[in-house]
Amino acid sequence: MKILVTGGLGFIGSHTVVELQNKGYEVVIIDNCSNSSADVLDRITKITGIKPLFEQFDLREKNKVQDFFNRHNDVSGVIHFAASKAVGESVENPLLYYENNLSTLVYLLQQLSSKSSAHFIFSSSCTVYGQADELPITENAPVKAAESPYGNTKQIGEEIIRDTCKVTSDLNAISLRYFNPIGAHPSSEIGELPIGVPQNLIPYITQTAIGLREQLSVFGDDYPTSDGTCIRDYIHVVDLAKAHVVALQRLLEHKNVSNYEVFNVGTGTGSTVLEVIQSFEKMSNQKLNYKIVGRREGDITAAYADTTKANNELGWQAKSSLDDSLGSAWKWEQKVRS
């Protein structure tokens, strides 16, 4: 059974490709390598012993998307990761995010809508909730006005999928609203390796510890939390990858309750930025150089998941602790810089 993974050489995508191959799926990857590298293909092959099919092009090129599906009309499911993903960058360059994150989704759904049976997993985000009224956040929490263009693209993306499913009974889709993916594969063959200056906390931490960055900035210490820093739910990327596989299996086995469903994917535990730093220092034996600076536009105070629905309906739950996740991220950083 052939599964298309867009953005399959990226951080979450590559780990999901590994888990799909471990379950016996044939995988074909589309990636434009704008924030990844083609050598990840060799790393995936080293882990699984199987080299996925790979095509390098930009999903914003509609004619190439059409051509791909003409050539691969046996694709049974799509897991869609390809998107720009940094909150801060989206505030600075909103049009890039709206073009890249929404047009690509539309082009994929146009192709799937013409198939007699199509299965689609969308890489959504807890940013759709904004600053939730209650914690932990359930799937029934209201979707509030987004705090950033990035968050808005995820909200609009979900709306596009839901509206398409309403009029396309042969399209079955799940949006996974995941929280903050971190860590690396236990083999240390794949992990988070952003091109340029990291936009996410953990790679900035590891790059600071390894000496690539001079200092980590902690954005704000005046939030209404235990230590004044923001709270997030940090989930190991392998746990997250496995959630995509079980969600896909749910659709392929027709166990979905409706043809559009939403699940939170997180650990259910929130950690402050300073707690993350302390955990990293413990796991790495490194003293981290960091400085408290002003708040960053687009950041919310706290977000962590209620994962009851995913636990009960998908039969999935996160296994790795924050310490485990940060330890694997540090091992990856050391290996990739060696």
Indicate if the pLDDT at residue 298 is higher than 80: no
Residues 6+ apart with CB under 8 A from 193: 11, 36, 37, 203, 336
pLDDT at residue number 199:
83
pLDDT at residue number 145:
86
Q: What is the pTM of this model?
A: 0.96
Runs of H (alpha helix) within 118-197: 149-167
Q: What is the largest CA-CA distance in the chain?
A: 56
Q: One-letter amino acid identity for 22?
A: N
End-to-end CA distance of the chain: 38
pLDDT at residue number 297:
81
What is the Cα–Cα distance from 58 to 214, expressed in whole angstroms?
A: 34
pLDDT at residue number 300:
87
Indicate if the pLDDT at residue 326 is higher than 90: yes
CA atoms within 13 A on the CB side of 169: 0
Average pLDDT, stretch 328-332?
Answer: 98
Q: Kindly indicate the confidence band of residue 112, based on its pLDDT and cuts at 50, 70 and 90.
A: very high
Name the β-bridge partners of 118: 171
Read off the pLDDT of residues 28-59 as tens digits, 9 standing for 90 and up: 999 999 989 999 999 999 999 999 999 999 99
pLDDT at residue number 299:
85
Read off the pLDDT of residues 177-234 as tens digits, 9 standing for 90 and up: 999 999 999 999 999 998 888 888 999 999 999 999 999 999 999 999 999 999 999 9
The sheet carrying 231-232 orders its strands as 271-272, 231-232, 302-303
The DSSP letter of residue 191 is B
- DSSP string for residues in 132-143: -SSSSBPTTS--
Handedness of CA 324, 330, 336, 338 (dihedral sign): negative
Average pLDDT, stretch 155-165?
Answer: 98
Q: Which of 25, 107, 150, 304 is catalytic?
A: 150
Average pLDDT, stretch 287-303?
Answer: 92
Q: Is 223 a catalytic residue?
A: no
